[in-house]
Amino acid sequence: MEITLNLSEEQWQKMTFIQQHSSENILALLEMTINQQYEKLQIADPDPIKGWQESGFIGCGKSDADLSTNYKKILKETWSRKHDDS
């Protein structure tokens, strides 16, 4: 692939400075920059489904906001309504 760049004078000076102080050519600098940005984006935007699968997450549901403190009472009421024989 061939790429043509139109850099500002400031960017050209920065790139020249980097080349002089790192002994890297333009292609190597571009490859490093692409790889660094790619890695950053991979970390910042991981696959959400993969994250849930790896965490061991089983599932979720909808209930009262105070379920964690009143779960026994809520379950008893729910089961009573579901299994009410009267």
What is the C-alpha to C-alpha distance for residues 64 and 32, in angstroms, rounded to an integer?
A: 51
Predicted TM-score of the model (pTM): 0.42
What is the C-alpha to C-alpha distance for residues 13 and 29, in angstroms, rounded to an integer?
A: 14
For 36-85, write each residue's pLDDT tens digit.
Answer: 998 888 776 667 777 777 787 777 777 778 888 888 988 888 889 888 76
Domain definitions of the chain by residue range: 9-86
For 18-35, write each residue's pLDDT tens digit.
Answer: 888 888 888 888 898 999
Residues in the chain: 86
What is the C-alpha to C-alpha distance for residues 40 and 18, in angstroms, rounded to an integer?
A: 21
